[in-house]
Amino acid sequence: MTYVDLALDRLSTDGDREALIGGDTRLTRSQARDLLFRLADGLVQRGIKPGDGVAVYVGNTPEAVLLNVAVHLLGGRLVFVPPEPGPGELRAFIDRAEVSAVVVDPTFDTKIDGWHLQDLPGDPVERAPHPSFATVSYTGGTTGLPKLAVHGPNLAAAFSAFKDTPPQKMLGTTLLTHGSGAGTAIMALVSGSKLVLGPSTFDADTFVRLAEEEQITSTVFVPPMMYEVLDHPDCPGPQFTNIRIGGSPVAPARLRQAIERWGPVVRQAYGMTEAFRISSMPPEDIDFDRPETLRTVGKPSPDIEVEIRDGDIWVRGPSVMEGYWGEPPLSASDGWFNTGDMGHFDDEGYLYLDDRSKDVIVTGRTSDNVYSRLLDDFLVTLPGIRQAAAVAQPDDALGEVVHVFLVTDVPDVDFDRIRASVVAELGELYQPRGVTIVPQLPLTKVGKVDKRKLRSRFR
């Protein structure tokens, strides 16, 4: 049984219940089931067979959710095309993924050609789901060279837990072609929830409106989105039963603010394109009198092994990818994968992320590590500072020095006070050499702070 079987089970009962909503489209479960089979048939009519690669370049729409499931239903290899790179790089990426077809939604973006999603539906031929399929995701948004991570049908194992959760009214915020958005869609389908899709590029006004109109109970945020919603004049009240946040560091002060606003329903989760659902922190374990409980990413998920080796986090389990496309599978070695994140466990088995290894700033006369994450978290506790991102600035004498980008809501920022506060809290090493005030931090298409872009200002 794969997640596709679970999703079809849900779509086959209570056919009049709403399942997928986006823009002007509202699909009931039976309409969604019908379109799913039509999309699969359209692919078959165009020659797609089990094992074929189908690249999808689509935005956040109900049709795109069903297209992704249709490719899996046929036993295909679904290749997510990210919107970030330019057309040349996209072409190279698609070539490298060795696909048989490209499906595009021209209302989303016209950077590349392919079969139009709108023309794809064929006949409503019911087909039994193929037992095996794959998903290929581009990883590289904030991490350097792009790679293609391949996941097999283990998605079912990673998401089957959601089949026993009561149906929710979910709001999808991140791109369907990123693990976070794809995962949200699968969670919704498997749990029989109503999924409302926000725009492909997040905006807080729309979030606030949809949360109210659709009486949303559950959503997934990357941190900058949650901060924008918290800062919104019409920020929703305690209407949620379940909010997941993760994908990049969550400032403890902001997590606390979210819990104060929405109640103990905010779950910090840690995962990555190469390894879903590594760990999560149950909201009921958070205790404001123990500030570290706002910082930890919780305990490892039941089916995943996590080890710290020389400060790096290594993982193994069914939600870890099979390997990178074109490289030997992880199973050819021992199945362990180095996340590139640095972290540690406390005595109670809670995991803490210290930094991404690429975001560590190596500075000082003895080349010590500044964990940029610690500095970001501390800076937003200072009055008037709404967002902060510390990055390495190359320096002839010290290799790197600390530079911070700040979003503030006060006109006159006292840099000397900021520096003094940082030194008092974190020590001399963390003292920012440079400070730049920006109206907003650059975000990747998924909505995470793009530290790579900030670093590139110094090159």
Residues that bind ligand AMP (CB under 6 A): 139, 141, 179, 246-250, 268-273, 297, 339, 341, 353, 356
Amino acid symbol at 458: F
Residue (352 or 458) nearer to ligand AMP, CB = 352
Based on CB atoms, which residue is closest to ligand AMP, 63 or 376? 376
Residue 99 CA neighbour count, 13 Å, CB half: 29
Cβ 404 to ligand AMP shortest distance, Å: 18
Distance CA 255, CA 273 (A): 23
By beta-carbon proximity to ligand AMP, the closer residue of 129 and 343 is: 343
Length of the chain in residues, anyone?
459
Strands (E), 45-176: 53-57, 77-80, 101-104, 115-116, 134-139, 147-151, 169-172
Pick from 192, 235, 193, 239: nearest CA to 216: 239
The CB-of-141 to ligand AMP minimum distance in angstroms stands at 5
Crossing angle for the helix pair 179-191 and 62-73, to the nearest 10 degrees = 80
DSSP string, 318-368: TTB-SEETTS--GGGTTS-EEEEEEEEE-TTS-EEEEEEGGG-EEETTTTE
The H or E element that residue 190 is part of is helix 179-191
Between 144 and 384, name the residue whose CB sits nearer to ligand AMP.
144
Q: What is the DSSP string of 42-75?
A: HHHHTT--TT-EEEEE--S-HHHHHHHHHHHHTT
**CB-nearer residue toward ligand AMP: 37 or 262:** 262
For Cα atoms 57, 60, 61, give the angle at the middle one, nearest 5 degrees: 100
DSSP 372: H
Q: Which is nearer to ligand AMP, 192 or 249 (CB)?
A: 249
Instruction: Tell the smallest beta-carbon distance from residue 285 to ligand AMP (Å).
Output: 15
Least distance to ligand AMP, CB of residue 446, Å = 6
Both structure tokens of 208: 């606030």
In the complex with ligand AMP, the residue whose CB is nearer, 11 or 149, is 149
- Ordered DSSP codes for 191-210: HT-EEEE--SS--HHHHHHH
In the complex, the smallest distance separating the C-beta of residue 379 from ligand AMP, rounded to whole angstroms, is 16
Smallest gap from residue 179 Cβ to ligand AMP (A): 5
Nearer to ligand AMP, 37 or 202 (CB): 202
Task: State the nearest-atom distance from the C-beta of 319 to ligand AMP, in Å.
Answer: 13
Q: Which is nearer to ligand AMP, 77 or 295 (CB)?
A: 295
Of 219, 201, 189, 172, the residue nearest 9 (C-alpha): 189
Strand order through the sheet with 434-437: 385-395, 399-408, 434-437
CB of 13 to ligand AMP, least distance (A): 33
Backbone phi and psi for residue 400, each to the nearest 5 degrees, phi listed first:
-140, 150
Cβ-based nearer residue to ligand AMP, 228 or 341:
341
Residue 220 CB partners (closer than 8 Å, separation 6+): 172, 173, 174, 180, 183, 184, 243, 244, 245
Which residue lies nearer to ligand AMP by CB, 34 or 354?
354
DSSP structure class, residue 416: H
Are 34 and 211 in contact by the 8 Å Cβ rule? The answer is no
CB 335 to ligand AMP: min, Å: 18
Minimum distance, C-beta of residue 354 to ligand AMP, in the bound complex (Å): 10
- Tell me how far, at minimum, the Cβ of 247 lies from ligand AMP, in Å: 5
CA distance 146 to 92: 11
